Amino acid sequence: MTSPADSPTPGAAPKPDPAGDRPAKRRGAFGRLISDPLGMLGVVLIALTVLAALCAGMTSWDPIALNPLARFQPASSEHWLGTDNLGRDLFTRVLYGARIALTVSIGATVIAMVIGVAAGLIAGYGPRWLDNVMLLIFDAMKSIPTVMLALMLVTVTGPSLYAVLLVVVLVNAPAYARMARTQTLAIRRAEFIDAEQALGAGQARIMLRHVLPNIVGPILIVAAMDIPVVVGIEAGLSFLGLGVRPPTPSWGSILFDGFSYIRESAWPVIAGGLPIVITTLGFTFLGEALRDTFDPKLGGGN
């Protein structure tokens, strides 16, 4: 056996907690989250994005109205982030863009989560052949590179917000489905489920009372990590002119307008890209902190 002086290694049995650690353990989940500097930073960055979305409409500029005389103005006390190629106030457009980004990313993630979990429960609970067929379908969906799948779908549906939603659901749902399936299979063999069944519990009751509560934690963590990906997909498609239609301000389209005139002014590009960076970093940091707080085992690869 190894000596007790060995450096701590991952996977080693947890040592009994010294009494001094107890108060720290009693803090609520949110407290632990906040005490992680990255988690705290994540919360702040997300709060900033939410604040931006709430404040849209409070500036004195119209996000869509053209003002050709005021093209490519640098940042000033009047235009906080300058103006774009059509003379629109960039700060105002960024605030409205936050609304699009947040609604699309959170909405799409929730839809993907619900559909994925439902599919996973069916796969895990259904007959063996159905499970195999669904696994194959999940695998096939995962095998088309994300951007290619998005481009293909948008070609069929035409550029729109719904196309973006559809892409996100197709790309992200399989991951939730797999998690729900694995958990279902694991719990199906548990003895207390046999007991439940012997007592006459129906399939629906077992799913709702025993399977779902067990996957809520890990699934929420994955959802938090998915949101930045979705923000990227929405902005990326809008950047390519395949997402939100102009003149609706999306961070991606702001960035593309800026890119087209990048030699005239750097401000539109800065204004379009910075919020994407802030939001994706915010949700990623939060997701990481959530994972460290609730589920240390989930770390690493899959």
Partner 1 sequence: MALYFLKRLLLSVLVVILVVIALFLLTYAIPGDPARVALGPRANPELIAEFRARMGLDQSLATQLYNFFVSLLQGDLGRDAISGEPVLNTVLSQFPDTLYLVLGSVLVALVPGVILGILSARYRGGIIDRISSVLSVSVMSVPAFVIAIYLLLVFSIQLGWFPAIGAGTGFWDRLHRLVLPSLALGLAWIGYIARILRASILEEMNEGHVRTARAFGLSENRIMYDYVLRIAVLPMITVLGIGIGQMLSSAVFAEVVFGRPGIGKLVYDAIISRNYPIVTGTVLVTTIFFVVVNLGADLLVAWLNPKVRHDLSR
For residue 173, state whether it binds partner 1 (rule: CB under 8 A): no
Phi/psi of residue 132, each to 5°?
A: -65, -45
- Closest contact distance (angstroms) between CB of 210 and partner 1 is 31
52-91 positions binding partner 1, by CB under 8 A: none
Cα torsion 142, 143, 144, 145 to 10°: value is 80
Of 116, 232, 243, 249, which lies in the binding site for partner 1, with binding defined by CB under 8 A?
232
Q: Cβ closer to partner 1: 49 or 210?
A: 49
The one among 4, 5, 11, 128 contacting partner 1 by CB under 8 A: 11
Site for partner 1 in 211-230 (CB under 8 A): 228
State yes or no: residue 166 binds partner 1 (CB under 8 A): no
Distance CA 181, CA 135 (A): 9
What secondary structure does DSSP assign to the chain, as a single string?
A: ---TTSPP-TTSPPPPPPGGGHHHHHS-HHHHHHHSHHHHHHHHHHHHHHHHHHHTT-SSS-SS---GGGTTPPP-SSSTT-B-TT--BHHHHHHHHHHHHHHHHHHHHHHHHHHHHHHHHHHHHS-HHHHHHHHHHHHHHHHS-HHHHHHHHHHHH-SSHHHHHHHHHHHHHHHHHHHHHHHHHHHHTSHHHHHHHHTT--HHHHIIIIIHHHHHHHHHHHHHHHHHHHHHHHHHHHHTTSSSPTTS--HHHHHHHHHHTTTT-SHHHHHHHHHHHHHHHHHHHHHHHHHHHH-GGG-S--
Q: Pick the stretch among 14-22, 101-109, 200-208, 272-280 that binds partner 1 (CB under 8 A).
A: 272-280
Smaller CB distance to partner 1: residue 78 or 295?
A: 295
Q: What is the Cα–Cα distance from 206 to 184, expressed in whole angstroms?
A: 10
At residue 188's C-alpha, the angle toward residues 186 and 191, to 5°, is: 100
Q: Which of 43, 89, 285, 290 is close enough to bind partner 1 by CB under 8 A?
A: 285
In the range 108-137, which residues lie near partner 1 by CB under 8 A? Answer: 136-137
Asked if 239 interacts with partner 1 (CB under 8 A), we say yes
Which stretch in 17-25, 55-63, 200-208, 274-282 sits in contact with partner 1 by CB under 8 A?
274-282
Told to check if 29 binds partner 1 by CB under 8 A, we report no
Q: How far is the CB of 138 from partner 1 (least distance, A)?
A: 10
If binding is defined by CB under 8 A, does position 148 make contact with partner 1?
A: yes
Residue 281 binds to partner 1 (criterion: CB under 8 A): yes
144 binds partner 1 (CB under 8 A): yes
Q: Which is nearer to partner 1, 87 or 273 (CB)?
A: 273
Asked if residue 296 binds partner 1 (CB under 8 A), the reply is no
Report the residue from 4, 10, 68, 200 that binds partner 1 according to the rule CB under 8 A.
Answer: 10
Contact residues: partner 1, CB under 8 A:
2, 9-12, 38, 136-137, 139-140, 143-149, 151-156, 158, 228, 231-232, 235-236, 239-242, 255, 258-259, 262-263, 266, 269-270, 273, 276-277, 280-281, 283-285, 288, 299-301
